[in-house]
Amino acid sequence: MSVIGNQVVIKYQAWNNVLNAGQIGDAANHTLRLIAGDSESTPSGTPVEVDAVNLPGMYRITITAAENLGSIMTLGGISSSANVTITPVSWANDVAVGGLCIGVNVGVEVGLGASVTQECS
């Protein structure tokens, strides 16, 4: 499970509704949105195709620690390619407990309650 305030790599699918198959070579056509609670934003990362041969239509994007701030997150969007649908993906984040610091959140302030933060080092 990912932790609030940590970077996470999210995988999603671009599906061609006419071919009934994953759409390859489509990353540049994706306009993605990230939802955290009631807030919608554009993720800063760039979509990357995972493997056009063995996983056609599967893409990934890195959500930065600063963007991954909701307990429930959703990534979705559209493709400018005709007949291609982006399947939204949701994930749950855990709250860091007791200042737990794991590799990717080194140097990130982790909320430990209403008035306490700890910088992971």
Q: What is the CATH number of the domain that holds 10?
A: 2.60.40
State residue 64's pLDDT score: 96
Q: What is the DSSP letter of 23?
A: P
111 located within any domain: no
pLDDT level of residue 97 (50, 70, 90 thresholds) = low
- Three-class SS state of 67: coil
86 located within any domain: yes
Number of structural domains, the chain? 1
Please state the φ and ψ torsions of residue 16, each to the nearest 5 degrees: -90, 115
57 located within any domain: yes
Write the burial class of residue 111 (CB in 10 Å: 0-12 exposed, 13-18 middle, 19+ buried).
middle
| Residue matched to tokens 């200042």 | 99
Count of Cβ atoms closer than 10 Å to residue 92 Cβ: 11
Residue 110 has pLDDT above 60, yes or no: no
Global pTM reads: 0.78
Beta strands at 72-79 and 30-36: parallel, antiparallel or unpaired: antiparallel
Six token digits for residue 26: 């489509």
Question: What is the span of the domain harbouring residue 88?
Answer: 2-95
Report the alpha-carbon distance of residue 23 to residue 101 in Å, rounded.
38
Q: In this structure, which amino acid lies at residue 103?
A: G
